[in-house]
Amino acid sequence: MSDVRERRLGELVVKIDRHLCVGFGDCIDLAPEAFELDDEGIAVVREETSAPSAGRLLEACRACPVDALAVFDRHGTQLAP
* All structural domains of the chain with their residue ranges: 4-74
Mean pLDDT by 10 residues, the chain (81 residues): 87 95 96 95 90 91 97 96 92
Nearest Cα neighbor of 55 from 22, 6, 11, 23 is 11
> Which pairs count as long-range contacts for 67-70, CB under 8 Å and 24+ apart, including other chains?
67/20, 68/16, 68/17, 68/18, 68/20, 68/21, 68/22, 68/43, 69/14, 69/15, 69/16, 69/17, 69/21, 69/27, 69/43, 70/14, 70/15, 70/17
Say if CB 43 and CB 69 are below 8 A apart: yes
How many H-runs (helices) and E-runs (strands) does the chain carry? Answer: 2, 6
- Out of 3.20.20.110, 2.130.10.10, 3.30.420.40, 3.30.70.20, select the CATH number for domain 4-74: 3.30.70.20
pLDDT for res 60: 96
pTM: 0.90
pLDDT for res 10: 87
pLDDT for res 18: 96
